[in-house]
């Protein structure tokens, strides 16, 4: 296969709407995913700020219970299905063909179809807010029987089911596309053991999607049948089984957590070597660890069900503990990459260090709640809220910002401003920890999650006010990022192909890349072809 594809159309201008609507170019689709997921991020983040404002003081009546329940349902659904996962999909869409030296994805039209289905699905979930009973309000987990028609009577719940179903089908199609592209469309010399770690992590992610998402689709279909076609799968009053929903949901839901983090392991594995000016440490170990995590994560779903008294706790506890081992390997590999390096703390690297610091705490609390005796207290409390946000906020979200700052020049041809970038980092880092660290304590002290208010007891008011203050600081960080985009776009300061002196093939071509991706390719003799071309004295294999 070759980088030479038949291309006839001249690169169109940025503003042609029809071009964006009909494009099957992986770079445009990737950009659309990234921008769409950032749009959903702004909305979901705003919902979170409203929730934090309601929770700033005890017994507050700013937001009604019904509205609050919609707020956290939409916040969770959006962050998981419409922000963290699709941002990774967008990044991978943009990067994988470039990183492996391919002209496009294996199935370009399928790829575009997936994007539009994801967009329409996401909009459907939010459009539920316009119905008479409002949007879905049974949480992103939609536990049956709460989500059954007897109790959640509104149209919003149905639109949630349809929207999430569309998104999950789109995600499965994209996963098949990623696997095929990476296995088949690599450039000459780009063997599997030379593709960037990010591409490997996306293969592992896609495999997980392929295994986990059908279970979600099945659960949603059954719920729909229960609601409208007289089924009783989850309704115990007619012989259904309420635990069945939890099995089906978490069989998807736990691997989903790794779908939300593995791509970002890939992101930091790309960025840390560049800003340490060293190759990634333990390439093989990182790849094996990715698949170990993916494999183990298929056997831990019921650690979300320890408190049901209906599952084999030790089995799930054991496999959950085991996941700590490959995750630890990754941490040590990242530290090994920085070890004795020549480290520059540019904004992308700052966000990676922030990722390491935050995610570590999320990992440690993750091992804690893998122990059922601890989970008996922590489950469904703010301790879980803290844990989950340290993984998906302090982890994935920080990696999202690292990726934005790192690949922005490649996507849009201009660098983001460094000083505003550092301001953005510090606001987000401080704001994040002030928001979410106190939640560990709130959970231990006895505050359940998903409550619209709380009584004036113990340190609830103090810790909650602190968390709310932190969320405003995070908001300021997001504003700093938006301002950065405006400033940097106005400045129009074009960058060359390789502004960071990076390693992988996407830095060989111009920024932004031409429609056919590459005019020529360097010889590929290691996992760092661009570095090799710039440092022939060090390059492995001695190929010129």
Residues 62-81, interacting with other proteins (CB under 8 A): 65-66, 69
Distances in Å between the alpha carbon of 34 and those of 405, 481, 500?
13, 15, 21
CB of 314 to other proteins, least distance (A): 6
Q: Which of residues 209-268 bind other proteins (CB under 8 A)?
A: 210-211, 214-215, 228, 236-237, 240-244, 247-248, 251
Among 39, 189, 497, 499, binds other proteins (CB under 8 A): 189
Residue 47: which H helix or E strand, with range?
Answer: helix 26-54
Among 41, 87, 178, 185, binds other proteins (CB under 8 A): 185
Among 342, 490, 492, 542, binds other proteins (CB under 8 A): 342
Choices 259-267, 271-279, 386-394, 487-495; region in contact with other proteins by CB under 8 A = 271-279
Q: Which of residues 374-403 bind other proteins (CB under 8 A)?
A: 374, 376-377, 379-381
CB of 440 to other proteins, least distance (A): 10
Among 17, 490, 520, 542, binds other proteins (CB under 8 A): 520
Contact 203, 184 (CB under 8 A): no
Instruction: Give the residue with the Cβ less far from other proteins, 491 or 535.
Output: 535
Peptide bond into 145 cis (omega under 30): yes
183 interacts with other proteins by CB under 8 A? yes
Q: Which of residues 443-462 bind other proteins (CB under 8 A)?
A: 444-446, 448-454, 457-459
Q: Which of residues 274-333 bind other proteins (CB under 8 A)?
A: 276-285, 291, 295, 298-299, 301-302, 307-315, 317-319, 321-322, 324-325, 328-329, 331-333
Judged by DSSP in three states, 414 sits in strand
151 interacts with other proteins by CB under 8 A? yes
206 interacts with other proteins by CB under 8 A? no
Convert 129-157 to b/e letters by CB count within 10 Å (16 or more is b): eeeeebbbbbbbbbebbbbbbeebebbbb
Instruction: Give the residue with the Cβ less far from other proteins, 294 or 475.
Output: 294
CB of 334 to other proteins, least distance (A): 8
530 interacts with other proteins by CB under 8 A? no
109 interacts with other proteins by CB under 8 A? yes
Locate 473 and state its tokens.
């600081």
Q: Is the dihedral angle over the CA atoms 2, 8, 12, 17 positive or is it negative?
A: negative
Contacts of 348 (CB under 8 A, 6+ apart): 271, 274, 275, 402, 403, 405, 406, 500
Instruction: Give the residue with the Cβ less far from other proteins, 151 or 482.
Output: 151
Site string for other proteins, 477-516 (x = CB under 8 A): --------------------------------------x-
In 260-312, which ranges are continuous DSSP H helix? 262-276, 283-297
Choices 152-160, 388-396, 407-415, 480-488; region in contact with other proteins by CB under 8 A = 152-160
Contacts of 57 (CB under 8 A, 6+ apart): 461, 464, 465
CB of 525 to other proteins, least distance (A): 8
Instruction: Give the residue with the Cβ less far from other proteins, 448 or 497.
Output: 448
Instruction: Give the residue with the Cβ less far from other proteins, 331 or 483.
Output: 331
Q: Which of residues 347-376 bind other proteins (CB under 8 A)?
A: 353, 356-357, 360-361, 364-365, 367-368, 371-374, 376
Contact 221, 142 (CB under 8 A): no
536 interacts with other proteins by CB under 8 A? no
Instruction: Give the residue with the Cβ less far from other proteins, 261 or 272.
Output: 272
Locate 524 and state its tokens.
């590929």
130 interacts with other proteins by CB under 8 A? no
Instruction: Give the residue with the Cβ less far from other proteins, 352 or 478.
Output: 352
542 interacts with other proteins by CB under 8 A? no
Among 38, 96, 178, 186, binds other proteins (CB under 8 A): 186
Distances in Å between the alpha carbon of 132 and those of 59, 70, 93, 137, 154?
27, 13, 38, 13, 8
Tell me 137's DSSP state. -
Choices 35-43, 205-213, 425-433, 467-475; region in contact with other proteins by CB under 8 A = 205-213
What dihedral do alpha carbons 166, 171, 172, 175 form, nearest 10°? Answer: 160
Residue with structure tokens 């707020």? Answer: 71
Nearest alpha-carbon partner for 169 in 296, 39, 294, 81? 81
Choices 61-69, 428-436, 466-474, 483-491; region in contact with other proteins by CB under 8 A = 61-69
Phi-psi region of 139 (alpha: psi -120 to 50; beta: other; left: phi over 0): left
Cβ-in-10-Å burial (0-12, 13-18, 19+) of 17 comes to: exposed
Contact 319, 295 (CB under 8 A): no
CB of 310 to other proteins, least distance (A): 6
Instruction: Give the residue with the Cβ less far from other proteins, 184 or 479.
Output: 184
Nearest alpha-carbon partner for 114 in 33, 219, 180? 33
């Amino acid at each position: 296969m070759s980088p030479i594809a038949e291309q006839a159309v001249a690169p169109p201008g940025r503003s042609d709407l029809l071009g964006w609507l009909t494009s099957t170019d992986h770079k445009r689709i990737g950009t659309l995913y990234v921008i769409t997921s950032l749009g959903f991020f702004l909305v979901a983040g705003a919902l979170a700020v409203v929730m934090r404002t309601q929770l700033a003081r005890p017994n507050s009546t700013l937001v009604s219970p019904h509205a609050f329940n919609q707020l956290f349902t939409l916040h969770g659904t959006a962050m998981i299905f419409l922000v963290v996962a699709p941002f990774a999909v967008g990044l991978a869409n943009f990067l994988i063909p470039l990183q492996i030296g391919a002209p496009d994805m294996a199935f370009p039209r399928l790829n575009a179809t997936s994007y539009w289905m994801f967009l329409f699905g996401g909009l459907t979930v939010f459009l539920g807010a316009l119905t008479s009973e409002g949007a879905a309000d049974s949480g992103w987990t939609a536990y049956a029987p709460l989500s059954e028609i007897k109790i959640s009577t509104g149209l919003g719940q149905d639109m949630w089911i349809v929207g999430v179903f569309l998104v999950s089908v789109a995600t499965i199609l994209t996963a098949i596309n990623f696997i095929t592209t990476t296995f088949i469309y690599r450039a000459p010399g780009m063997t599997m053991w030379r593709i960037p770690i990010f591409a490997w992590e996306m293969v592992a992610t896609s495999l997980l999607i392929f295994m986990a998402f059908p279970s979600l689709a099945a659960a949603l279909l059954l719920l729909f049948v229960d609601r409208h076609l007289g089924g009783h799968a989850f309704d115990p009053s007619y012989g259904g089984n309420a635990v069945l929903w939890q099995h089906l949901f978490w069989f998807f839901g736990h691997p989903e957590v790794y779908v939300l983090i593995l791509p970002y392991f890939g992101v930091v594995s790309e960025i840390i070597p560049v800003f340490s000016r060293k190759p990634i440490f333990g390439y093989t170990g990182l790849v094996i660890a990715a698949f170990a995590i993916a494999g183990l994560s298929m056997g831990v779903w019921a650690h979300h069900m320890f408190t049901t008294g209906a599952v084999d706790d030790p089995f799930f506890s054991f496999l959950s503990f085991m996941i700590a081992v490959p995750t630890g390997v990754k941490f040590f590999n990242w530290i090994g990459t920085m070890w004795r390096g020549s480290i520059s703390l540019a904004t992308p690297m700052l966000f990676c260090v922030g990722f390491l610091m935050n995610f570590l705490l999320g990992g440690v609390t993750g091992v804690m709640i893998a122990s059922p005796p601890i989970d008996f207290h922590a489950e469904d409390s703010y301790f879980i809220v803290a844990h989950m946000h340290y993984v998906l906020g302090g982890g994935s979200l920080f990696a999202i910002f690292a990726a934005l700052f790192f690949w922005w020049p490649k996507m849009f041809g201009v660098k983001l401003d460094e000083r505003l970038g550092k301001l953005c980092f510090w606001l987000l880092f401080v704001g994040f920890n002030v928001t979410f660290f106190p939640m560990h304590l709130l959970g231990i002290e006895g505050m359940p999650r998903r409550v619209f208010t709380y009584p004036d007891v113990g340190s609830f008011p103090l810790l909650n006010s602190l968390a709310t203050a932190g969320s405003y600081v995070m908001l300021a960080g997001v504003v700093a990022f938006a301002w950065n985009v405006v400033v940097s776009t106005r400045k129009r300061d074009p960058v060359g192909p390789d502004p960071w002196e990076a390693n992988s093939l996407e830095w060989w071509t111009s920024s932004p890349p031409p429609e056919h991706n590459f005019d020529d390719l360097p010889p590929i003799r290691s996992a760092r072809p661009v570095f090799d071309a710039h440092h022939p004295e060090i390059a492995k294999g001695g190929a010129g």
